Amino acid sequence: MPSTYEVLEARLQSAFDVLKLGSDPVLRPSDRSDYQVNGVMGLAKALGRPPREVADELVAALDLTGLATVEVAGPGFLNLSLTPAFLGQQLNELVTHDRLNVPVSTKPKTIVIDYSAPNVAKEMHVGHLRSTVIGDALARINRFMGHTVIARNHVGDWGTPFGMLIEHLIDLGEDAAVQSLSMGDLDTFYRAARQKFDSDDTFKERSRARVVLLQGGDTETNRLWRLLVTQSVAYFQEVYDKLDVLLQPSDVVGESFYNPMLDDVVTDLKSAGLLVESDGAQVVFLPGFTNRENEPLPLIVQKSDEGFGYAATDLAAVRDRVGNLHADEILYVVGAPQAQHFDMVWAAARAAGWLPESVRIEHVAFGNVLGSDRKMFKTRSGETVKLVGLIDEAAERALAQLQARQSDMAADEQAALALTLARAAVKYADLSTERQKDYVFDLDRMLAFEGDTGPYLAYAHARIRSIFRRLNEPFLGDNVAWTLSDPSARHLALGLLALPEALDATLNTLQPHRLCTYLFDLAQRFTTFYEACPVLSAEGSLREERLALCDVSARTLSLGLSLLGIDAPERM
Ligand code: ARG
């Protein structure tokens, strides 16, 4: 069933077609009326005609019988007001619809999402937090729309550092090493290895020899490598569980997975005539990529020592994702500094014929997380902030907030709620900023019950649910006679009908903050409505209508938050 917006847009499109106006209409929800058609002025200008004339012509061609009334305003805006009958019909469908009128995609796609991707034996940093949280939201929304999402956790599990990491593991002894890694002491482990590598020449030699053994497939070396990977992946999983994201160990498809495919990458690139030798390395030069001195920038496929690097793996990954997984869309949720790397990899993949134009491929880039000093978020001694610690600290603060309130909630329920709010706070703060922008990590602001925060939205939801707990009879909402006489009720209703567009906008722009903005706006519409319109003390059909608005508001908030990976508790 098409959404309210789609019904109107289709009518508008026909009018545009009849008039052969060429361009696409721009229809927007509006505070002036219910919806507004924009862009007539620009169109008229392009046609060299007076805007009012084009607007009038459009009104004459527009068939909105039974749906809406329309009037031309200002220099050429079209204001649309839905008829009570159409509005009522749309709302009745919404009340009884378990997906809140969000259609399942008629063109289900296979979407590969490359996200999280921490590195073995290294602490996950806040950049990995962003990738994990944004990727999780995009995975959830796409799945909800009926697409097949394949999560690819492109863990850094290969490369020259593994020589020193394995040697350090041997020095420590397996048991001690496992102990340290399973405690999530990844950075201490990594730093100790790096320090020996930098200061001890024999250790350096051993490390180099170890890399050769690793690449040569030596059994014992591979067992030790596997140990590092398994321990790290188990630790990452603890972080994912603490964050409550969908990622599972089976989603880990690390860099090493592509090792067996690298020779084919080279063969393909060679036969396409793309591979050239440069300073002993095998590289691809791609038109349009130059360094600061304006010299052509090479994409290094195979280094002079014959080793493969990050780019080769990503080339193999594109080839695999299109060729074997049949991806229609590939999303890379990775920090902004890697933009050029991806541009070059995709350009090479296109040139090699692995990446048809029909595949949507996007770098879902994001900005930095900053400390209160507006510098990169680090601990006071300059170390990577542990993600688990962040959530734990947020939960402690949330618990303190809850305990300071008068409530009859049992202690264990309070603790569970504190964790839910901690996750909501951290995730929402991340998702609600435009992702390319940096943001300051400020737990107190994130946890506030007021303002554009996760806890505020969770609270808005719980508050509505509490209305239904005070209701003596079950609420069915199957036969509401909509009048929406109060403007705040109408404003809320229109907001509720706009969920499909909020989700579309989120997926088109790959900006989860679009959904956040929608939910926050909806919660505010609800508050205004609830202040103006008493619910339980209302009677008859007015009470039914208001209860229905409450019910759909709570369900919309709950669904919307769940698509962001945030739980909306029943009571708070
Ligand atoms: N492991 C990398 C890092 O920590 C991110 C990998 C992103 N994904 C990819 N296909 N390159 O920066």
- Distance CA(385)–CA(44), nearest Å, equals 55
Task: Please tell me the pTM assigned to this model.
Answer: 0.95
- Distance CA(401)–CA(447), nearest Å, equals 9
Domain with 9, as residue range(s), is: 4-82
Same domain, 527 and 440: yes
Closest ligand 1 atom, residue 342 Cα: 11
Specify the pLDDT at position 181: 87
Cβ of 154 less than 6 Å from ligand 1:
yes
Specify the pLDDT at position 260: 96
- Distance CA(368)–CA(346), nearest Å, equals 24
Cβ-Cβ contacts under 8 Å for 297 (sequence gap 6 or more): 285, 286, 289, 290, 291, 344
- Distance CA(202)–CA(30), nearest Å, equals 71
Examine residue 105 and state whether it is found in any structural domain, yes or no: no
Same domain, 216 and 314: no
Same domain, 410 and 555: yes
Q: Which of 38, 63, 82 delimits the end of a domain?
A: 82
**Centre of ligand 1 from the C-alpha of residue 26, in Å:** 38
Examine residue 19 and state whether it is found in any structural domain, yes or no: yes
CATH number at residue 118: 3.40.50.620
Same domain, 406 and 329: no
**Centre of ligand 1 from the C-alpha of residue 119, in Å:** 8
Q: Which of 191, 216, 246 delimits the end of a domain?
A: 246
Q: What is the DSSP string of 138-200?
A: HHHHHHHTT-EEEEEB--B--STHHHHHHHHHHHH-HHHHHHHHHTT-HHHHHHHHHHHHHH-
Walking along the chain (572 residues) 10 residues at a time, the average pLDDT comes out as 89 90 82 88 88 92 95 91 94 94 96 97 91 98 98 96 96 92 85 95 96 94 96 95 97 98 96 94 95 93 90 98 98 97 98 97 97 88 84 96 88 96 98 96 95 97 96 84 95 96 97 98 98 95 96 98 97 92
Specify the pLDDT at position 543: 94
Same domain, 269 and 418: no
Examine residue 568 and state whether it is found in any structural domain, yes or no: no
Same domain, 341 and 458: no
Specify the pLDDT at position 541: 92
Total number of domains constituting the chain: 4
Same domain, 530 and 546: yes
Examine residue 569 and state whether it is found in any structural domain, yes or no: no
Examine residue 190 and state whether it is found in any structural domain, yes or no: yes
Same domain, 220 and 298: no
Examine residue 378 and state whether it is found in any structural domain, yes or no: no
Examine residue 102 and state whether it is found in any structural domain, yes or no: no
- The single residue listed with the structure tokens 């020259």 is 160
Asked whether the beta carbons of 264 and 315 are under 8 A apart, the reply is: no
Cβ of 112 less than 6 Å from ligand 1:
no
Examine residue 355 and state whether it is found in any structural domain, yes or no: yes
Same domain, 148 and 169: no
CATH number at residue 478: 1.10.730.10
Same domain, 220 and 114: no
Closest ligand 1 atom, residue 317 Cα: 10
CB atoms within 10 A of CB 47: 14
Q: Whose CA is nearest to atom 5 of ligand 1?
A: 117
CATH number at residue 55: 3.30.1360.70
Closest ligand 1 atom, residue 335 Cα: 12
Same domain, 129 and 193: no
**Centre of ligand 1 from the C-alpha of residue 340, in Å:** 13
Cβ of 114 less than 6 Å from ligand 1:
yes
Asked whether the beta carbons of 349 and 318 are under 8 A apart, the reply is: yes
Pocket test for ligand 1, best of 113, 154, 157 (most atoms within 8 A of CB): 154
Three state DSSP letters for 455-475: HHHHHHHHHHHHHHHCCCCCC
Same domain, 417 and 493: yes
Specify the pLDDT at position 536: 94
**Centre of ligand 1 from the C-alpha of residue 156, in Å:** 7
Cβ of 314 less than 6 Å from ligand 1:
yes
Q: Which of 246, 266, 301 delimits the end of a domain?
A: 246
- Distance CA(368)–CA(334), nearest Å, equals 11
